[in-house]
Structure 1
Amino acid sequence: MPLSEQEQRLLDEMERQLMHTDADVVHASTGDRTLSYRNLLLGAVLVLVGLGAIIAGIAMWNSTVVAAVIVGVVGFGAMLGGVILAVSPGKGDASSDVADSPTPQKTPSVGGASFMDKMNDRWDKRQQG
């Protein structure tokens, strides 16, 4: 069944609103993921140190099991900390993103609420006849 002109306009308006909202979401999320080379390097070194500790824990297994487990857990923690450090943004990048983020988030929420109110009103009118 083909759409009427009013339904086609409504669909076009919904698509434009969705594209506008998706563009804001994509724009907001890309700024937060700027990697710092310093953090990446330190994280990689920490991962390698943790891997070495795990290997040392495996090598110590036959002599003292408790010490081997402790060294292995510390090595795993070092590797996990290294990965978290490597993917975290730098100090300078995070402060600029936090300062810029509130302005774009307020605008779509106000526009989105009025759009949804209009959609609800149109739906109610359709249901009533």
Structure 2
Amino acid sequence: MPLSEQEQRLLDEMERHLLHNDADVVSAPSGDRTLSYRNLVYGALLLLAGVGALVAGVILGDVWGIVVGVIGFAAMLAGVMFAVTPVRRATPVTPREATSAKRQDSASFMDRMNDRWDRRQDGR
């Protein structure tokens, strides 16, 4: 079910407010480095392949099982490392330009949220 225009606008404003107030959470990758969705997907696939190899190694049980299990564990470790390693961004974002518009929107957003809260408490 798609969001209505008002709900989408409210969600966008909430995201902007969150970005403005929780800068330490949002700016986890520092500088010009950020996480890549492509690397996350490839890392997750490598992790799943490693889990499969680890299970296959347990099922085999003999010397080959140990080898396959160790390879599976290494694949799991490599998948996690690949998924969480940040990559360089093509163009750096200037935070000063983005924060000036956010400061203007945050007051009106909070006023509207307070009004909605008051209406709910009054039963309107």
**Alignment TM-score, normalising by the size of structure 2:** 0.47
**Alignment TM-score, normalising by the size of structure 1:** 0.45
Bigger Rg over Cα: 1
